[in-house]
Amino acid sequence: MIEYNISDHNNEFINSYSDPVVMGNYLLDNNMTNDNIIETINIDQKYKYRPDRIAYEYYGDDSLFPLILSANNLRSLLDFDPEKLGNTIKVIKLDEVLRIQQTISQTIK
């Protein structure tokens, strides 16, 4: 069984935005189109069940893998199968993730 070390810094962020419904509401509330904050990337089968690897490569932090699940409307690691996703996935652009993290950090203080 894989265990993920989610830092305290990202814990609030993930809890707030990892649910697809919450993320969808965030996008609507902020009048953002997917083109503004979502990017499509190609992946291969070596990432099957491993969105944490994508999160590490794309964001530099594997604990942000719930954002990848959320961006692709997936609820479980077991749903993360590149072949079933057409070998392409959606990711929230890094600058948007950093902006959201900063907003949450300021709110918590």
Q: How many domains does the chain have?
A: 1
Name the residue type at position 57.
E
Quick check: is 1 in a domain?
no
- Domain range holding 83? 8-108
Q: Is residue 70 part of a domain?
A: yes
- Between 24 and 38, name the one with better pLDDT: 38
Backbone angles phi and psi of 41, in degrees to 5: -125, 155
d(CA 53, CA 68) in angstroms, rounded, equals: 10
> What does the pLDDT look like over 51-104, one tens digit per residue?
999 999 999 999 999 889 988 989 899 999 999 999 999 999 999 888 878 877
The Cα–Cα gap between 20 and 100 comes to 15
66 lies in some domain: yes
Residue 97 lies in a domain: yes
pTM over 0.85: no
Q: Is 3 inside any structural domain?
A: no
In a domain, 2, yes or no: no
The two tokens of residue 54 are 């994508």
